[in-house]
Structure formats: structure tokens, C-alpha cells
């Protein structure tokens, strides 16, 4: 379907692709991955013919149609449904011609072709795609012009999917989606009948959808079989092999050079020395396997704070005196890792702003310790940065009493070395600006991190580094993200924001996927009159009864899990002391006391594990 041969492309004196070659067979679904700035979007522009290569060629099979998401968000007075229907140019042209054609033969051809492309199902297909991307029936009838840019980009994506091209190119398709729409898109693309190449930093999407990965690295394209996890494993093994080969080659080069240096001046050994020199010159160097440095994240440990960090009793919050969320009865503790679920527009960002102190309560009461410090990240904050200032200047402004050494040390926690620390914000990439925001928000060592879509400009490796940093952080985390992988490995509690409220969701993301599917089926049955609709109020009551029945067990399991985490940290601290040779220079009594503490902790860990297992078994998990 797609063949790339010896492709070379340069821009501004920089070579992005250097004799790169790869092929994508018909019907394959391929993920295109690589560091930010490597040239992935440029490669798409070369495939579509928007720009021309300096050398090599790109060819697409026969008369295959290539589809992409329009760069300009659709607008105008047309409804969302009509806009999506118009995205299939052939369908739109045939439909228009069918109303004006007079020649009987041409009319027959038009209707035959319309039948071939399933024109009679087009409105239903377009509506289903829009629904999957978060647009209900009423929303689909509204004009595009009434929606913001992010929502209109969803319409552009819907149009690209509806047109069903032979080769579909998607560049970060989840950037404007919420978690619910991302989950739907994963399922839709997994069953996509054509050939797909998708640029994405979302590990879950690449694992669910792709049957192959093309890695753009070092200006070359390398193909791998399987999803992202398989690619990562294969590449890691290959790098390890290359590292071993390179080490052996360097050792061989050193041995040959030592022989030459030793015997070059001796007449009896001169011939052998010359021969070895030629051998040395012929040895093809094995490329260094040194990987590009992964972005760093390291959130400082907060000071202890009295529990709970936040409690809400009957709280309402919104804008201009109008509540978006009401009757909030919530509690957040230092050990909590919470992900907020719910479609865009339900109030997730509003709740985060309330916790960050950016909004006040309209009703009810919210309590928190007087000295509580919150770190707030929202993607729009990148637009508020002083673009003329450097990270060093911005961090110094936030730390007016700190020495330059301390300021640079904090910047270093987030990957800003000497060069990047003195680069103006305007010259930083999107990912670097995101890291700068993380750096600035954590300067006051917050007790709670509030993260609203933190990964939009981060590549896969940077997202993984962020996840590790969040898991090592000792305060609370409240996360809004469309990246299922980040939610799964960071959050241990899910809160669902919908119907003007917020409640704990019992289950994991797999359960939430099933919840969304069942909710869609129930709504469809209700519309078709197949069964009496179960109201949302009934669903909430049933869930409340189920939660009440298992509340004590869930509380026991959570408390045991938190106790295990605390005991594990204490055990690691004692083991670190015991591993220090200087410990054994002290008194024997101190060493014995450490041994007793370690034995006591081991007993407590065993008891906590037993309590956790009993609770989990009783819950049937």
C-alpha cells in the first residue's frame, strides 16, 4: 500500500530523513513513533505530497485514496452531521449529481455506485462516529460555528474516519479527546478495514490498534512487528546486543592498536604491523547505542500535613453564580492517587480549579489545613509564560530568596541543564514548556499535585518518566488525562464526574469501559423502544446500594494497602542504614536495635498483607 524508498529531506540545513526506507502492506495498522521533533509530521506531509523530498520517493498503491484530518477546524453554519457527510467527497458529489442528472444511463451509474459505497447507511454511520467522539443527537444538529476549536477538531477527525480512505494517516488523533472518546477511538481503529498509519504517544492506543511499529530514529525508519510493548522489548534487546558488540569491537581495536604501537618500529614486525593497521581501517564501526536523554521529572517531597488534606461538605462550584457541580461530599488524604473520569464539559477541570483555589465555593463548606500547598498544572498555562524569560529567570522569580545554585538544582530535577536553563521560553519545544510548568508548580514543595491533561506535548518516554516521578512523589495526586496508560499506572482511585456531581467509581478502567458500553446499549434500547429505560437516578441508587454493601471491605483493603506502602518505605530506610558500612563502626546496641525494628516491620508487613488479601478475596477481586 505504501512504499518509501531512500527518502531524504532537509529543512533549514538540518537533515530529518537520510535515505530512509520502509513499506506498509495493504490492511496493516502501523504506529509511527519517535522523539518530538524527529520528523514524524514532516513524513506525513511527504506522503500526502504537500512537500517534496530532496531525494528518494514515496509511492502509494494504484489509485488508493489517502485520508488525513484537516489541519483547519471546520466551521460555518452547517450542522455537525452535514459537515461529516460532506467529508466523503465522492458521496457528496454523487448525491448532488443524482438530483440534477438527466441521462438515464448516468442516473443508473450514479445509483449503482451509491449502493456500492453504502450511501443509504451514510447518515447512521456519520452519527455513530460523532456519538463515539462525544456528540449527542442534539449536538449533531447544531452548527459547527457554535463550537470551540478543540470540539471542531473532533468533527474534523470524524470526517476523516467517515470518508473511509484506503490509507488513513492520523497525527496525534487523541490530542483533543477526553478519556471516554479516546477509549471509543481505540476500539474503532482496531476494527478499521483499511490501512492505517498513526502518529501517537499513547502507549495504550498503540498496543490496542497497531500490528506494527515504525520507529523514526537517527534519520532512519525501522519497522517492528507487534504493538508498542513488543517494539520496546525488541528494541531494548537489540540495543543490548549492539552495546555488547560495540564493547567487543572497541576492545579488539585497542588490542590491535597496542600491537601496532609496540612493533611498528621493529623491522621484523613491520609487515605484521602494517597488516594490522589495514585491518583496523577496514573495521566498520558499530554505531553507538547511546540513546537520547529522556526528560527528567523529580517532584520534591512535601512536609507532613495533618489529615485530611481536603474535605468537602455539600459543596457547589461553578461560574457567574451558576453551579456546574453541586452536593460534593469528598475527602482527599496525603496518600491518595485519584483520576477524574467523565466526558469533557462535565466539570472535571472545574473541580480541579476548586481544589487549586482558582474558584470559590458557591455553597457548602470546604476545609483544608492553613498551610496546605497545592501544585496546579493546566495546559493553557503554557500560554501565560513570559516567553522572553529563560527557565532560570522564571524559577528565580518564584524563588526570590534562593541562591542561583539552589535555583539551578531545582531546574535540574526537571531536565533543565546549563544550556536549556538559559534558553528563552519562546525557543522551548511544547514538551519542554510542559516540563517548565511542572518545575514552576513544584517550587513550593506542594502537598497535592493537581494535573489537568499534563501529557499533551510529552512523548512516550517523557510520559513514562512522568508516571515514575508521580509514583515516587509522597503527596496526593489528582489527575485528569485522556491517556489510559498514565491513569492505570498512577491512579489507585477513580472518581466519576457526571450529572452535576462527583462520586467514587468502584472498579478499574476495564470496568469503566464496560460501564460506558452498557450505558450506550441501554440508551439505544430506550430510543428503539426495545425495553423500558433505566433512569440515571435508578442506576445511581443501585450503585449506591452496591457501594454501601461493600464499603467496610473496601475501606479495609485500602487501609491495608496504604499501611503496606508506609511499612515498605520504613523498611527501605532501615535497609539503607544497614547497607552503609559506617553503621558498623557504631555501638553494637544500635545495630541490634535496628535489627529488632526490621524484624518488627517484617511482622507488620505480613499482617498487613494478610488483611489486604482477606479483604480482596471477600470483594471477589
Of 29-33, 139-143, 256-260, 311-315, the one with minimum mean pLDDT is 256-260
Q: Who's near 320: CB < 8 A, 6+ residues apart?
A: none
Instruction: Assign 461 a pLDDT band (cuts: 50, 70, 90).
Output: confident
Q: Look at residues 157, 171, 177 and name the one whose alpha carbon lies nearest to residue 201.
A: 171
Bigger pLDDT: 540 vs 259: 259
Report whether pLDDT(96) > 50: yes
Which element (helix H / strand E) includes 68?
strand 66-68
Bigger pLDDT: 178 vs 273: 178
Q: Are 238 and 289 in contact (CB under 8 A)?
A: no
Q: How large is the average pLDDT for residues 414-439?
A: 84
DSSP β-bridge partners for residue 143: 79
How do residues 467-489 score in pLDDT, each as one tens digit?
A: 888 888 889 999 999 999 899 88
Q: How large is the average pLDDT for residues 368-376?
A: 90
DSSP 74: P
How do residues 347-366 score in pLDDT, each as one tens digit?
A: 999 999 999 999 999 999 99
Distance CA 378, CA 352 (A): 9
Q: Strands of 448-452's sheet, edge to edge? A: 374-378, 448-452, 476-480, 337-341, 493-498, 501-505
Phi, psi at residue 2, to the nearest 5°? Answer: -130, 130
Q: Which CATH class is domain 548-619?
A: mainly alpha
Instruction: Assign 401 a pLDDT band (cuts: 50, 70, 90).
Output: confident
Q: How large is the average pLDDT for residues 545-573?
A: 71
Is residue 621 helix, strand or coil?
Answer: coil
Instruction: Assign 288 a pLDDT band (cuts: 50, 70, 90).
Output: very low
Q: How large is the average pLDDT for residues 515-542?
A: 62
What pLDDT sits at residue 129? 92
Q: How large is the average pLDDT for residues 193-220?
A: 91
Report whether pLDDT(11) > 90: no
CATH topology match: 2-231 vs 310-534: yes
Pairing assessment for the beta strands 476-480 and 448-452 based on DSSP bridges: parallel
* Superfamily for domain range 310-534: P-loop containing nucleotide triphosphate hydrolases (3.40.50.300)
Q: Where are the domains of the chain?
A: 2-231, 232-282, 310-534, 548-619
Distance CA 143, CA 145 (A): 5
Could you give the C-alpha distances from 499 to 316, 343, 365, in angstroms and in order? 13, 11, 21
Report whether pLDDT(292) > 70: no
Phi, psi at residue 369, to the nearest 5°? Answer: -60, 145
Q: What percent of the chain has pLDDT over 70?
A: 85
- Residue tagged 605484521 (cell numbers): 272
What pLDDT sits at residue 224? 92
Q: Does domain 2-231 have CATH number 1.10.3720.10?
A: no
Amino acid at each position: 500500500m505504501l512504499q518509501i524508498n531512500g527518502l531524504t529531506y532537509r529543512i533549514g540545513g538540518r537533515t530529518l530523513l537520510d535515505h530512509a526506507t520502509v513499506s506498509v502492506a495493504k490492511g496493516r495498522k502501523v504506529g509511527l513513533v519517535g522523539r518530538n521533533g524527529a520528523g514524524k509530521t514532516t513524513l506525513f506531509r511527504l506522503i500526502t505530497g504537500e512537500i517534496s523530498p530532496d531525494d528518494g520517493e514515496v509511492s502509494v498503491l494504484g489509485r488508493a485514496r489517502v485520508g488525513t484530518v484537516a489541519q483547519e477546524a471546520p466551521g460555518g453554519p452547517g450542522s455537525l452531521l452535514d459537515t461529516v457527510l460532506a467529508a466523503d467527497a465522492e458521496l457528496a458529489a454523487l448525491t448532488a449529481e443524482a438530483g440534477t442528472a438527466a441521462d438515464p444511463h448516468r442516473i443508473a451509474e450514479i445509483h449503482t455506485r451509491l449502493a456500492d459505497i453504502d450511501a443509504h447507511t451514510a447518515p447512521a454511520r456519520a452519527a455513530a462516529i460523532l456519538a463515539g467522539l462525544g456528540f449527542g443527537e442534539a449536538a449533531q444538529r447544531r452548527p459547527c460555528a457554535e463550537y470551540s476549536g478543540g470540539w471542531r477538531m473532533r468533527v474534523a477527525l470524524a470526517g476523516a474516519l467517515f470518508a473511509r480512505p484506503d490509507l488513513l494517516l492520523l497525527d496525534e488523533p487523541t490530542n483533543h479527546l477526553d478519556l471516554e472518546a479516546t477509549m471509543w477511538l481505540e476500539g474503532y481503529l482496531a476494527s478499521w478495514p483499511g490501512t492505517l498509519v498513526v502518529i501517537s504517544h499513547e502507549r495504550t492506543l498503540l498496543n490496542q490498534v497497531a500490528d506494527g511499529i515504525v520507529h523514526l530514529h537517527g534519520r532512519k525508519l525501522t519497522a517492528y512487528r507487534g504493538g508498542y510493548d513488543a517494539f520496546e522489548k525488541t528494541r531494548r534487546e537489540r540495543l543490548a546486543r549492539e552495546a555488547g558488540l560495540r564493547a567487543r569491537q572497541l576492545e579488539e581495536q585497542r588490542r590491535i592498536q597496542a600491537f601496532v604501537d609496540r612493533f611498528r618500529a621493529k623491522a621484523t614486525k613491520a609487515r605484521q604491523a602494517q597488516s594490522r593497521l589495514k585491518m583496523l581501517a577496514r573495521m566498520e564501526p558499530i554505531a553507538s547505542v547511546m540513546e537520547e536523554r529522556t526528560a527528567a521529572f523529580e517532584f520534591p517531597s512535601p512536609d507532613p500535613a495533618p489529615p485530611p488534606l481536603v474535605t468537602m461538605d455539600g459543596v457547589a462550584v461553578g461560574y457567574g453564580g451558576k453551579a456546574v457541580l453541586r452536593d460534593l461530599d469528598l475527602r482527599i488524604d496525603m496518600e491518595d492517587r485519584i483520576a477524574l473520569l467523565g466526558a469533557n464539559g462535565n466539570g472535571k477541570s472545574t473541580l480541579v480549579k476548586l481544589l487549586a483555589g482558582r474558584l470559590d465555593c458557591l455553597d457548602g463548606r470546604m476545609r483544608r489545613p492553613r498551610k496546605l500547598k497545592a501544585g496546579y498544572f493546566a495546559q493553557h498555562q503554557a500560554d501565560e509564560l513570559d516567553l522572553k524569560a529563560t527557565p532560570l529567570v522564571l524559577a528565580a522569580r518564584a524563588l526570590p530568596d534562593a541562591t542561583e545554585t539552589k535555583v539551578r538544582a531545582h531546574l535540574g530535577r526537571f531536565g533543565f541543564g546549563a544550556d536549556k536553563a538559559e534558553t528563552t521560553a519562546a525557543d522551548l519545544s511544547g514538551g519542554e514548556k510542559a516540563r517548565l510548568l511542572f518545575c514552576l508548580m513544584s517550587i513550593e514543595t506542594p502537598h497535592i499535585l493537581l494535573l489537568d491533561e499534563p501529557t499533551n506535548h510529552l512523548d512516550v518516554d517523557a510520559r513514562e518518566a512522568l508516571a515514575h516521578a508521580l509514583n515516587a512523589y509522597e503527596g496526593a495526586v489528582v489527575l485528569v488525562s485522556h491517556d489510559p496508560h498514565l491513569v492505570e499506572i498512577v491512579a489507585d482511585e477513580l472518581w466519576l464526574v457526571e450529572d452535576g456531581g462527583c462520586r467514587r467509581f468502584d472498579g478499574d478502567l476495564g470496568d469503566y469501559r464496560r460501564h460506558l458500553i452498557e450505558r450506550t446499549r441501554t440508551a439505544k434500547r430506550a430510543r428503539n423502544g426495545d425495553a423500558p429505560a433505566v433512569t440515571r437516578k435508578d442506576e445511581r441508587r443501585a450503585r449506591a446500594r452496591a457501594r454501601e454493601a461493600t464499603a467496610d471491605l473496601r475501606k479495609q483493603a485500602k487501609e491495608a494497602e496504604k499501611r503496606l506502602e508506609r511499612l515498605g518505605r520504613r523498611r527501605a530506610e532501615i535497609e539503607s542504614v544497614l547497607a552503609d558500612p559506617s553503621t558498623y563502626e557504631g555501638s553494637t546496641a544500635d545495630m541490634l536495635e535496628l535489627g529488632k525494628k526490621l524484624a518488627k516491620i517484617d511482622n507488620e508487613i505480613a499482617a498487613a498483607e494478610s488483611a489486604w488479601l482477606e479483604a480482596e478475596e471477600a470483594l471477589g477481586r
